[in-house]
Chains A and B, each alone.
Chain A
Amino acid sequence: DVVLTQTPPTLSATIGQSVSISCRSSQSLLHSNGNTYLNWLLQRPGQPPQLLIYLVSRLESGVPNRFSGSGSGTDFTLKISGVEAEDLGVYYCVQSTHAPDTFGAGTKLELK
């Protein structure tokens, strides 16, 4: 199975600070159809996960544009440009290029 390694496991930020989360894959996530099925989820405390970014860099409808995704192959990054209080929670990368779907261990974003 594909292993996704997320760093850092915990991120402390102040409101307004920009932060980045890394997700590295044990193999390339480029699918034979040309898509890269690397997506980012946010799980706020006590809530189900929600999709933030799909196909590496596409913003899900309704998600603020302070969120952005980038990367290719095996290295991917989620950036939040100006953290807001509602952004606190656990961020997961997930890949669906290679069966089975696998998740990163998560990055907990907390207030400093």
Chain B
Amino acid sequence: EVQLVESGGGLVQPGRSLKLSCAASGFTFSNYGMAWVRQAPTKGLEWVATISYDGSSTYYRDSVKGRFTISRDNAKSTLYLQMDSLRSEDTATYYCARHGGILRGWGQGTLVTVSS
């Protein structure tokens, strides 16, 4: 069973940084692409970034390009999202999900609040 546990969220001031983690288990992490998806309060789901199984390819939504960096450590079965220059509009619950054409194994998410 795919299990994903996000962590690292919290309250942060605009312009500051935060690093999210996603610990994976129940599958061979190094075989799959991974994604971050976020959900602003009372809003729908929004794709943020994707990384290939080996970390060689990364993709970002336009609004986070140059500010967010997705990465992974296959030895630790862990996915990361480094978020710099945070803005109020980045306030959301961030979920990681296993990719491969199907977003599967959603964790509970971690809440990021950007506010002064």
Contact = CB atoms under 8 A, between A and B. Distances in A.
Q: Judge: A and B partners, yes or no.
A: yes
Given A48-B108, A103-B45, A106-B44, A94 B103 contact: yes
B17 to A, nearest CB: 23
Contacts, number: 58
Contacts of A31: 101
A101 B95 contact: no
A30 to B, nearest CB: 13
For B35, B50, B102, the residue with the greatest tally of chain A CB atoms inside 10 Å of its CB is: B102
Nearest to B4: A48
Report the interface size class on chain B: 20 to 34
A50 interface: yes
Report the interface size class on chain A: 20 to 34
B61 to A, nearest CB: 6
B46 interface: yes
B53 interface: no
If over half of A's interface residues share one DSSP class (helix, strand or loop), that class is named, otherwise mixed; here it is loop
Given A49-B95, A105-B44, A39 B102 contact: yes
B107 A103 contact: no
A100 interface: yes
Given A48-B108, A50-B106, A103 B101 contact: no
Given A48-B95, A49-B95, A101 B109 contact: no
Nearest to B2: A51
A96 interface: yes
A44 to B, nearest CB: 12
A92 interface: yes
Interface of B: 35, 37, 44-47, 50, 59, 61, 95, 99, 101-109
5 contacts: A31-B101, A35-B101, A39-B102, A92-B45, A94-B45
